[in-house]
Amino acid sequence: MLTKTDRRSGFTIVELLIVIVVIGILAAISTVAYNGIKERAANSATVSGAVNAQKILNFYMNQEGSYATTTTNYCLTVDNKCLNTDGSVITLDNSTLITTLQKVGKLPASVPNNWGLRYSYQSARTLNGQPMPAAIVYRLKGANANCGIRTVISNGGTADYMYTTTNYTTSTATETQCIIPLQDPSSI
């Protein structure tokens, strides 16, 4: 016959289940927090690359008297790994533009989003009625993300753009698009 002193101590099934549930909850919270931190870090790196590219392009314009007048979207990263809106890889050779811009500053090797960091030149584009042909275009992860630089938004679907008060151009549930004008905002 077992007495109180002969019983073995241990955890009951209920106690073990409670510990497993608590560990599961903590793991879920940690995963969500990690994903948020990872998204913010990727967005910060993209914004930093855009700020740097904006400075380089403005310095280039001050030296040359105009922006590069290519009529297509070029990837502004050395690795040239930008995607089109349909997900296909941009196959335009950006080496001439990159080589020219690298003479005045160091462009980012890459940015952590697949869409990339792009130089966009459209001769007919305007901002508040003034010419604004050159812009930097990029996307950030997450809805309504802060572009980090004064951005522009389409004015009712017309070719004229205006400054936005939301600090992003457009947004979906998963990403935010940013269009950054390259001319001096005080001249507009």
Binning pLDDT at 50, 70 and 90, where does residue 125 land?
confident
Contacts of 89 (CB under 8 A, 6+ apart): 81, 82, 83
Least confident of 26-35, 64-73, 103-112, 178-187: 178-187
Q: Is 18 within the bounds of a domain?
A: yes
The total number of structural domains in the chain stands at 1
Q: Is 8 domain-assigned?
A: no
What's the whole-number mean pLDDT along residues 28-36?
Answer: 84
Band the pLDDT of 187: cuts 50, 70, 90. very low
Mean pLDDT confidence for 86-115: 80
Residue 152 lies in a domain: yes
Q: What is the pLDDT of residues 2-26, one digit of tens each?
A: 555 556 678 889 999 999 999 999 9
Q: What is the pLDDT of residue 185?
A: 47
Mean pLDDT of 96-120: 82
pLDDT of residue 186: 45
For the CA atoms of the chain, what is the radius of gyration? 25
d(CA 99, CA 59): 15
User: How confident is the model over 49-78, as pLDDT tens digits?
Assistant: 898 888 888 888 888 888 877 666 788 888
**Residue range of the domain that includes 170:** 13-187
Q: For residues 61 and 104, is the Cβ–Cβ distance under 8 A? A: no
Report which of 164, 163, 167, 165 is spatially closest to residue 146, judged by C-alpha positions: 167
Flag whether 164 is in a domain. yes
> What is the chain's mean pLDDT, rounded?
81
Name which residue leads in pLDDT, 133 or 89.
133
Domain assignment of residue 139, yes or no:
yes
pTM comes to 0.76
